[in-house]
A and B are shown apart, each in its own frame.
Chain A
Amino acid sequence: MNKITSLSDLKQLREDIQSRIKLREKSDASDTLVQIKVGMATCGIASGAKETMNVLIEEAERQAIDVVVTQTGCMGFCYAEPTVEVTIPGRDPVVFGHVDKAKAREIIDHYIIQGKLIDGIIPVEFKTIND
């Protein structure tokens, strides 16, 4: 494949891969897909949330699982950044703290694929001393 240098190259690439890439069903199936939200506020970015988000997207694609990875703001757990909220359809959202690259892979392998709970969950009822 030649180097992509313009939108028309990109269009060419689209035609090349359109046939072999598996397209997600058009419907907005957000309630049947696993949703991952990465905390991407000042605290998150400073602790490496960008790398975490990249790993989550790559890993999900590599393992061929349908997830929607989006960004969200600060959830108030600045001490535990990067934080990631995972919602498996039909289950309550779970927030994980200190999600570095290794933790991100663990979340996909153990929590999303095998459905096992893993360390690092921030309880929903958690309150700071200031609340």
Chain B
Amino acid sequence: MKTIADHILDIIQNSVRASASRIRVEIRESIMNDKYTVEISDNGCGMDKMTAMKARDPFYTSRSTRKVGLGLPLLQQNAEQSGGSLQLFTQEGKGTTVTATFGLTNIDRPPSGDLAGVFILTAIGHPHINLFYAHHTEKGSFSISTPELKETLGELPLGSSEIRKAVTELILHNLSGIGAS
């Protein structure tokens, strides 16, 4: 994965497969602690102890269509390469939280990438999931969610180019307003 946004798009699919109805993505950037933290939490089915232990193993997957499961291992690798780590917290029947910490200024931290695009594509691709996205820096916070968007847009489809452009603009404007990297 070339960017952190790609990783987020990827890990969200795990939540979708865990039949989550609510997914929350939270990014915290701290210049003071030189940390870039991404937390993805869902209310899906969670994992039992054995599965959770194996989840970081690239040769473990819950699928039968292929023999590898690289989403979490790749994220862990990128996090560790930039001086960070990956944490996994899960409760069977309640949900899972994945926290990846990167070194903010580390040369090996992937760039943030297209965070706005990932939010919009996920919202379009999984219309029945409530998606929340929050981004915090030392300058301030920005958050947006699909329930909020649905209320604002009414029946207008998020997929139409005008709306996608407007929502992208909204997200980018606010992210640059809080000095997100």
Contacts and interface: CB of A to CB of B under 8 A. Distances in A.
Contacts of B159: 57, 61, 69
Q: How large is the interface on A (under 10, 10 to 19, 20 to 34, 35 or more residues)?
A: 35 or more
Interface in B65-89: 65-67, 69-71, 74
A61 B10 contact: no
Contacts of A35: none
Interface in A70-126: 70-71, 73-76, 78
Interface residues of B, number: 44
B13 A14 contact: no
Nearest to B168: A4
Nearest to B61: A74
A130 B67 contact: yes
B152 interface: yes
A18 to B, nearest CB: 7
A21 B173 contact: no
Interface of B is mostly: helix
A42 B74 contact: yes
A29 interface: no
A63 interface: no
B173 A5 contact: yes
A80 to B, nearest CB: 12
Contacts of A69: 124-125, 159
A18 B114 CA distance: 28
Contact of B124 (A14, A17, A57): A57
Given A10-B152, A42-B74, A53-B121, A74 B161 contact: no
Given A10-B170, A73-B13, A17 B126 contact: no
Contact of B121 (A21, A24, A71, A73): A71
Nearest to A10: B152
A41 B71 contact: yes
23 contacts: A4-B170, A4-B173, A7-B149, A14-B156, A17-B163, A18-B154, A21-B160, A23-B156, A23-B157, A40-B9, A41-B71, A42-B71, A42-B74, A43-B70, A45-B9, A50-B117, A50-B118, A53-B121, A54-B117, A57-B161, A58-B161, A70-B124, A73-B16
